[in-house]
Chain A
Amino acid sequence: MNKILDIVTSKNLTYEQKVVALAHAAENSLEVLSIPERTHHYMDTGAICDLDEGHAPYRPRYIMPDYEKAVKNGCEFLQMEAPKDLDEVLQYLTILYRHVPSITSYPVYLGNIDKLIEPFLNGVTDEEAEKKLKLFLIYLDRTITDGFCHANLGPEETRAGRLILKLEKELQNAVPNLTLKYDKDITPDSYAELALYTSLYCANPAICNHKMHKDTYGDYGISSCYNILPIGGGSYTLARIVLPRLAAEAKGREQFLTELLPDCLSCMGDYMNERIRFLVEESNFFETSFLSTEGLISRDKFLAMFGVVGLAECTNMLMGDPQKTYGHNEEADDLAEQIMQVIADYAGSVKAVYSEVFDNHFALHAQVGIDSDHGITSGVRIPVGMEPELMYDHLRHSARFHKFFPTGCADIFSFDPTGRNNPAAMLDIVKGAFSLGDKYISFYASDSDLVRITGYLVKRSEMEKYYEGEAVLQNTVHLGGDNYRNAHLENRKVRGLQ
């Protein structure tokens, strides 16, 4: 019970953070999942990591409600009629968001926010709309105290989108994360440039390759750290295989590829199926949630994200040659691709239960890491501080590995502030990268207070408070603060410098 008392008496948790931590501790007092011995072994070594999702899943990890439908139909459970004007829609959404659960207990997805608002701007001046949207955005930032919350823009240009970009630049909020779905044939250059320009002031929005994601499952949204998921569904769970921890017990390259890796993948898949089974069959979530009963989500639109992390370190360990490293050597990259192919073949062949929306398979995800990771690089990224000299080489390398991941894989670039004078240059880079198959890019300015950690945003100034032991509003400041230090993110190579 000491852990419970620690939570209760903590000095750097807010009341709200304590409540969430206590709920988590209560959940973890249960043992309802059947976990075989072999799986326990991989969990003990850390090769399989459940991201501390809890021992008894009672809500999906990421929920992507169909907000368009909610706005159109109203919500019986919340006793709200369909909104008719800007005030009503903003209030409607803030109320609805409050009731969307997730693994963090906060909504991770706020919808295609520009399209939700756009129809209600008719007859409203920019000035009026800005005032209302500003209050709306401040409310979200201060009450959804979790940086994993995400809203989407585009690919079409909208007035609502322009106003939101303008306000975000001014407000410097960490919540929500924004992503622009970008398609060069739909998104006007000027709008994409505005988005990129804005990102060099407030690290938002990130840019998603719309062409590569639009047909994965129909309408999609981006939640949390670049999770590309079906709208009206989401992801039951996200477990991850921590490749370097597995490679630590390998008896050579061949044994890793043909025995150890397949065995661990199999254990992880079984474990994920067990989580899904409990959630769907025993937790009663889908039977009781109004989101489900009112059709804002549908069980058959959920899938399970199969996370991969640390490909770089794993490859380097198996290469065993400091001169031949991931991202810098063809032989190393070929081995990395071989490793990924084994993982992709597993995911493409094994049955994931209750995953109709993804053809009953697990969906690979380049997991971006967690605060406690030391020496483990996000997904398939090149380690911070080891980036190729030339950004173009970096992006070509990314394209080679992004292709394995339907549910999200991204790169983060710290960019020189001179880019603000020439956002068209950044758009050229994005266009080039997307034409090669890069799926997702985000930028922040090397001098900006807001920095992107692994996917979410945190303010450097808030991290400083956390380092001093103060309580801070957003729980992601804890995660980001530790991650920033452990992963030495201050060493991220600055691009666009001359």
Chain B
Amino acid sequence: MKAAINKMIPLSVVDGPGCRTAVFVQGCNIACAYCHNPETQRLCNGCGICVSQCPAGALSLSGKNVIWDEAVCTQCDHCIRVCPNYASPKVRWMEAVDVWEQISKNIPFIQGITVSGGECGLYPEFITELFTLAGNAGLSCFLDSNGCVDFTKHPKLMAVTDKVMLDVKAWDSQVFHRLTGKDNSVVKKNLNYLAKVGKLYEVRLVCLDGESSSGPSEDKEVDMEDVIRGVAAEVNPYLEDFKLKLITFRNYGVRGKMENRKSPTQNQMEKLKELAVQCGFKEIQIV
């Protein structure tokens, strides 16, 4: 089974517990306004705009396919910036066994692997195959998901997945829709399901500047306090079983209406953490 692979990071200290190899799949089922790697959102449609603009001459067009010559590429990422389609020509369709062959070279330095994206949930069969191989080698297998694919419908994948890191981007469905273009009922369903089966590693909230100001939620992009309270109420019996990660919004890589948006202050982040403590979360990390 193949998946479109955007990149692999052999040594990651930010994708779950311990040292991990992170695999980023290409393609996403939502489009967050603050996405910091928008080039992972869609698959290349072969328009060829990037080909003539590549300073290293590493790209060529073959029919409707952009061919990427990794040996010539200088990783300047100009192709990604000029792509009008939120895609990347530097994507490879890879078999799970081939991805595994590369990851296995990182043993004994890693304790596990994490599949992120894009949205990992778009490739359940591929990941099931990859996680089976990795699990057999003693590695822990984590998913990093936006929660918009219903995990209860993928029992085989869940059987080989140790834990999931779940984004909860907004609690109010209208706010969520404005931010991502999609509905968040599946996110809440996943939150419940993962907490109940003990597969929730962390819930991640991207915190924007000014969201804690008062007023009706329609006036704001995301009400972070609403998200914290919402998650706490939804999975209240399980708050000691997973970590709450409060992610400070940074505009690196962001395109569109939020690309010049300021980061929240440390003080704002600490206030959110205080609220999370009051709501009963036990392990809270600000990054």
Q: Which residues of A are in contact with B by a Cβ distance under 8 Å?
A: 390-392, 395, 416, 418-419, 421-422, 424-429, 431-433, 435-436, 495-496, 498
Partner of B13, one of A422, A431, A436: A422
Q: Is B19 an interface residue (CB 8 A)?
A: yes
With contacts A421-B287, A425-B20 taken as known, whether A496 is within 8 angstroms of B108 at the C-beta atoms is no
Q: Is A419 touching B109 in the complex (CB atoms < 8 A)?
A: no
CB proximity to A under 8 Å, residues B7-21: 9-14, 17-20
Q: Is B285 an interface residue (CB 8 A)?
A: yes
> How far is it, in angstroms, between the C-alpha of A429 and the C-alpha of B110 when the chains are bound?
7
With contacts A392-B106, A395-B109, A435-B108 taken as known, whether A428 is within 8 angstroms of B19 at the C-beta atoms is yes
B101 to chain A, nearest CB (A): 15
A395 to chain B, nearest CB (A): 7
Q: Is A424 touching B17 in the complex (CB atoms < 8 A)?
A: yes
Q: Is A426 touching B19 in the complex (CB atoms < 8 A)?
A: yes
> How far is it, in angstroms, between the C-alpha of A498 and the C-alpha of B20 when the chains are bound?
12
> How far is it, in angstroms, between the C-alpha of A424 and the C-alpha of B12 when the chains are bound?
11
> How far is it, in angstroms, between the C-alpha of A416 and the C-alpha of B17 when the chains are bound?
17
CB proximity to A under 8 Å, residues B272-287: 285, 287
Chain B minimum-CB-distance residue to A396: B109
Q: Is B111 an interface residue (CB 8 A)?
A: yes
List B contacts of A422 (CB < 8 A). 13-14, 17-18
List A contacts of B14 (CB < 8 A). 418, 421-422, 498
Q: Is A431 touching B108 in the complex (CB atoms < 8 A)?
A: yes
Chain A minimum-CB-distance residue to B286: A421
> How far is it, in angstroms, between the C-alpha of A429 and the C-alpha of B11 when the chains are bound?
9
Q: Is A421 touching B11 in the complex (CB atoms < 8 A)?
A: no
**Which one of A424, A426, A427 has the greatest number of beta carbons of chain B within 10 Å?**
A424
> How far is it, in angstroms, between the C-alpha of A391 and the C-alpha of B109 when the chains are bound?
10
Besides A392-B109, A432-B107, 16 other CB < 8 A contacts? A391-B11, A391-B109, A392-B105, A419-B13, A421-B13, A422-B13, A424-B17, A425-B13, A426-B19, A428-B18, A428-B109, A429-B19, A429-B109, A432-B108, A435-B108, A498-B12
Chain B minimum-CB-distance residue to A496: B13
**Which one of B11, B19, B285 has the greatest number of beta carbons of chain A within 10 Å?**
B19
List B contacts of A390 (CB < 8 A). 10-11
With contacts A429-B109, A433-B109 taken as known, whether A418 is within 8 angstroms of B13 at the C-beta atoms is yes
Chain B minimum-CB-distance residue to A416: B13
Q: Is B106 touching A428 in the complex (CB atoms < 8 A)?
A: no
Chain B minimum-CB-distance residue to A495: B11
Query: Which bracket fits the contact residues of B?
Result: 10 to 19
Q: Dominant SS at the B interface?
A: loop
CB proximity to A under 8 Å, residues B102-130: 105-111
Q: Which residues of B are in contact with A by a Cβ distance under 8 Å?
A: 9-14, 17-20, 105-111, 285, 287
With contacts A421-B285, A422-B18, A427-B18 taken as known, whether A432 is within 8 angstroms of B13 at the C-beta atoms is no
19 A–B contacts, CB within 8 A, in A order: A392-B10, A392-B11, A392-B105, A392-B109, A416-B13, A421-B13, A421-B14, A425-B13, A425-B18, A425-B19, A425-B20, A427-B18, A428-B19, A428-B109, A432-B19, A432-B108, A432-B110, A498-B9, A498-B12
B49 to chain A, nearest CB (A): 27
List B contacts of A419 (CB < 8 A). 13
> How far is it, in angstroms, between the C-alpha of A236 and the C-alpha of B130 when the chains are bound?
56
Chain A minimum-CB-distance residue to B106: A392
> How far is it, in angstroms, between the C-alpha of A495 and the C-alpha of B13 when the chains are bound?
10
> How far is it, in angstroms, between the C-alpha of A20 and the C-alpha of B206 when the chains are bound?
59
Chain B minimum-CB-distance residue to A395: B109
List A contacts of B111 (CB < 8 A). 424, 428
With contacts A432-B108, A436-B108 taken as known, whether A496 is within 8 angstroms of B18 at the C-beta atoms is no
Chain B minimum-CB-distance residue to A436: B108
B10 to chain A, nearest CB (A): 6
List B contacts of A427 (CB < 8 A). 18
> How far is it, in angstroms, between the C-alpha of A136 and the C-alpha of B110 when the chains are bound?
39
List A contacts of B110 (CB < 8 A). 428, 432
Chain B minimum-CB-distance residue to A424: B18
B201 to chain A, nearest CB (A): 13
B74 to chain A, nearest CB (A): 14
List A contacts of B105 (CB < 8 A). 392
> How far is it, in angstroms, between the C-alpha of A422 and the C-alpha of B202 when the chains are bound?
14
> How far is it, in angstroms, between the C-alpha of A433 and the C-alpha of B106 when the chains are bound?
11
List B contacts of A498 (CB < 8 A). 9, 12, 14
List B contacts of A426 (CB < 8 A). 13, 19
Chain A minimum-CB-distance residue to B287: A421
List B contacts of A435 (CB < 8 A). 108
**Which one of A392, A424, A426, A427 has the greatest number of beta carbons of chain B within 10 Å?**
A392
List B contacts of A395 (CB < 8 A). 109
> How far is it, in angstroms, between the C-alpha of A265 and the C-alpha of B223 when the chains are bound?
72
Chain A minimum-CB-distance residue to B20: A425
> How far is it, in angstroms, between the C-alpha of A433 and the C-alpha of B18 when the chains are bound?
15
B116 to chain A, nearest CB (A): 12
> How far is it, in angstroms, between the C-alpha of A432 and the C-alpha of B139 when the chains are bound?
13
> How far is it, in angstroms, between the C-alpha of A390 and the C-alpha of B111 when the chains are bound?
17
List A contacts of B106 (CB < 8 A). 392
List B contacts of A391 (CB < 8 A). 11, 109
Q: Is B109 touching A432 in the complex (CB atoms < 8 A)?
A: yes
Chain A minimum-CB-distance residue to B17: A424
> How far is it, in angstroms, between the C-alpha of A433 and the C-alpha of B109 when the chains are bound?
7
> How far is it, in angstroms, between the C-alpha of A154 and the C-alpha of B9 when the chains are bound?
33
List B contacts of A425 (CB < 8 A). 12-13, 18-20
List A contacts of B12 (CB < 8 A). 425, 498
**Which one of B11, B106, B111 has the greatest number of beta carbons of chain A within 10 Å?**
B11
> How far is it, in angstroms, between the C-alpha of A426 and the C-alpha of B111 when the chains are bound?
11
B80 to chain A, nearest CB (A): 16
Q: Is B11 touching A496 in the complex (CB atoms < 8 A)?
A: yes
> How far is it, in angstroms, between the C-alpha of A426 and the C-alpha of B106 when the chains are bound?
14
List A contacts of B18 (CB < 8 A). 422, 424-425, 427-428
A211 to chain B, nearest CB (A): 14
List A contacts of B19 (CB < 8 A). 424-426, 428-429, 432
List B contacts of A416 (CB < 8 A). 13
> How far is it, in angstroms, between the C-alpha of A425 and the C-alpha of B20 when the chains are bound?
8
> How far is it, in angstroms, between the C-alpha of A425 and the C-alpha of B13 when the chains are bound?
6
List A contacts of B107 (CB < 8 A). 432
> How far is it, in angstroms, between the C-alpha of A429 and the C-alpha of B107 when the chains are bound?
10
A106 to chain B, nearest CB (A): 37
> How far is it, in angstroms, between the C-alpha of A126 and the C-alpha of B218 when the chains are bound?
52
List B contacts of A421 (CB < 8 A). 13-14, 285, 287
Chain A minimum-CB-distance residue to B245: A421
> How far is it, in angstroms, between the C-alpha of A418 and the C-alpha of B108 when the chains are bound?
22
> How far is it, in angstroms, between the C-alpha of A303 and the C-alpha of B9 when the chains are bound?
45
